[in-house]
Structure 1
């Protein structure tokens, strides 16, 4: 089967660094349920993954919303169609992929924790989420985006723990699908606070040399007051958070382009590619080349 490395148009993915996963494993809430990888692949022609039991350290959820795909587990092959999902167990070899003639569009995540087996039980086969009057599919996908948004906001532990609480709800909407459909929708507050505005400014300027004073000026606060406020909300200093966002953006380039390290580093604000590589290694627990070679999705 032909396969591509360039990714898929409109794809998104976030891979958590090793140090943060280890922190979550030690946290009283995080150890119950945590995400290691999350993403979205639209019309993913030639998407294909094969992992040995040694390579499968987490549960893998695939939620197909359009098109078709398949997976193999325990020497059995299953066809997956639109509005179906499945969860592959940890430590079991598996293979899955998209059908070339009608490629799937999938939301996917890798997760683990004490409660992971509970939420995954019985889903090692294609399971239907058939659209109905009260199916609340749009809300479930909104919940996935809530999780993705939280994780892609940077490597703040508080955001990760918020993603965990949302993950309980997301998986619960599948585990208890009848009860989920019976419950009413909920309002969401989309207003942005100072911290969110600062993070937005950082994301818009990842390739530029911006200082702490620049960020504080953008949100119209003094440097000291802004720094204290930001760290209280995120658990990280603004400049440390900026580093996390830049490394996260670099991961995207490594995942979905063929750019070299010395081409990526200036795109995320670092003229010195050696310094960038050291910073990447310190943050992600592996070199950029090791990260690029890792199987994802």
Structure 2
């Protein structure tokens, strides 16, 4: 049984301007009342783990839903939500900070869909909110940093456990695994789609939904991450590593690597290579 609680905290300007701040959090078990016409100046994230109810705003109208689900509300939106007659259990979070736009981009606050059904109630949810409550009560300075970390984990849960209909989750896993395995192949997106039995448009839709990137971006990211591992973990020449991950032109590979990794291959290796003492 969830313990009913609510905590509100003053913002931390330093965390707000450089990271993520939890402005409030709480839980309600078997709640039977809701509200309407509310407008807040922070992002709200509400997990509904048991029961059913409805959400409403002027943009989307009334949305009825059953648990498990997550409600996402952006700042300034007049809205309301509440349980049905049998009540529900909710876990809510108020957030602000420069990290929030990245969370929006990564799907944690997909404001085009304010209510999303979840495949399952995240098993970590009760423990994370219990830890969050203790941290919000703590006088320790480091507690605010730990609170920010918990909020990031909760945002990731909201972004990652969405239901995908008709076996699409299995399809996405198969497609991404195949793209990773063949990332170094010198073929275009149309050929990759053909190998997977998909149209190019279908491949783009699957990868965008699952990874938040186009297939080309996903391939490039996979290649650069492999190159980073090879630069840090081997003594292979840069040109050999470039060819191994799919780039035959060493100059193009070095420019691309620098743009994606933030430093040229030689500088990355100097900073990250593991060396034995005295080498």
Which residue is equivalent to 1:175? 159
State the number of aligned residues: 156
Counting only pairs closer than 5 Å after superposition, residues 218-237 of structure 1 correspond to structure 2 as: none
Distance in 2, matches of 1:49 and 1:130, equals 27
**Structure 2: 5+ residue runs without aligned partners?**
163-168, 170-279
Displacement, 1:147? 1.9
How far apart in 2 are the matches of 1:92 and 1:32? 23
Aligned to 1:77: 62
Alpha-carbon RMSD across the aligned residues, in angstroms, is 2.5
Kindly indicate whether residue 82 of structure 2 is the aligned counterpart of residue 97 of structure 1. yes
Deviation at 1:70, TM superposition (A): 1.3
1:107 offset after TM fit, Å?
0.4
1:25 aligns with 2:9: no
Q: Secondary structure at the match of 1:164?
A: helix
> Which structure carries more relative contact order (alpha carbon 8 Å, separation 6+)?
1
What's the secondary structure of 2:87's corresponding residue?
coil
> Could you tell me which of 87, 92, 105 is aligned with 2:72?
87
Change (3 A) 1:75 1:30: same
Distance 1:117 1:71 in 2: 23
Q: Distance in 1 between matches of 2:76 and 2:44?
A: 11
1:268 is matched with none
Is the CA contact (8 Å cut-off) linking 2:70 and 2:158 kept in structure 1? no
Determine which of 27, 31, 35 is the counterpart of 1:48.
35
Q: Deviations over 1:66-101 (max 9, x none)?
A: 1112111215111131110111011111111222x2
Corresponding residue to 2:5 among 4, 7, 12: 12
Residue 130 (structure 1) aligns with: 119
State the Cα deviation string for residues 180-235 of structure 1 (Å, max 9, x = none): x9xxxxxxxxxxxxxxxxxxxxxxxxxxxxxxxxxxxxxxxxxxxxxxxxxxxxxx
More strand by share: 2
Larger radius of gyration: 2
CA distance in 1, matches of 2:99, 2:152: 9
Equivalent-residue separation in structure 2 for 1:176 and 1:82 (angstroms): 16
Q: Describe the shift of the 1:104–1:31 C-alpha distance in structure 2 as closer, same or farther (beyond 3 A).
A: farther
SS in 1 for 2:31: coil
Q: Which runs of 5+ in 1 are unaligned?
A: 1-8, 182-297
* Closer, same or farther: CA 41–49 of 1 in aligned 2, 3 Å: farther
How has the CA–CA distance of structure 1 residues 149 and 36 changed in structure 2, closer, same or farther, with 3 Å as cutoff? same
Residues 30 and 150 from structure 1, CA distance in 2 versus in 1: closer, same or farther, beyond 3 angstroms?
A: farther
Query: CA 1:121–1:108 in structure 2 vs 1: closer, same or farther (change >3 Å)?
Result: closer
1:58 and 1:49 mapped to 2: Cα distance? 17
CA distance in 2, matches of 1:141, 1:117: 26
- Decide whether the 8 Å contact of 1:32 with 1:113 is kept in 2: yes
Deviating beyond 3 angstroms after TM superposition, the runs of 4 or more aligned structure 1 residues are none
Counterpart residue number, 1:39:
26
